[in-house]
Amino acid sequence: MRLQGTFLAAVLIALPLVGETTIPDPATLPYRAFADLADKVDAFRDKERLDLRVRVTPKDPADTAPIRLEVRSRSGVKPVEVAADGGLVDFPTTPALREENPPVVANRPKGTLQLGVRVVLKRPEKPADETVGWYQKALDQANAAAKKLGGGLGFLVPKSKALLVEFPKSAKGRVVVTTGEVETVMEADAKGTVGVALGNHPAGSRIRFEPAPAAIQPD
* Chain segment 45-80, per-residue pLDDT in tens: 888 999 988 888 888 888 888 888 989 999 999 999
Write down the pLDDT at residue 216: 95
**Cβ-contact 143, 53 below 8 angstroms:** no
Backbone angles phi, psi at 80, to 5 degrees: -120, 120
Write down the pLDDT at residue 28: 61
For the whole model, what pTM was predicted? 0.77
Sort 199 into a burial class: Cβ within 10 Å, 0-12 / 13-18 / 19+.
exposed
- What distance in Å separates the CA atoms of residue 11 and residue 181, rounded to the nearest whole number? 42
Write down the pLDDT at residue 196: 97
**Cβ-contact 83, 20 below 8 angstroms:** no
In the chain, domain spans: 29-119, 124-218
Looking at the DSSP bridge assignments, the partners of residue 6 are 118
Write down the pLDDT at residue 59: 87
Write down the pLDDT at residue 156: 53
Write down the pLDDT at residue 151: 63
Residue stretches of the chain with pLDDT short of 50 = 1-27, 153
- What distance in Å separates the CA atoms of residue 65 and residue 87, rounded to the nearest whole number? 14
- What distance in Å separates the CA atoms of residue 5 and residue 42, rounded to the nearest whole number? 18
Write down the pLDDT at residue 182: 96
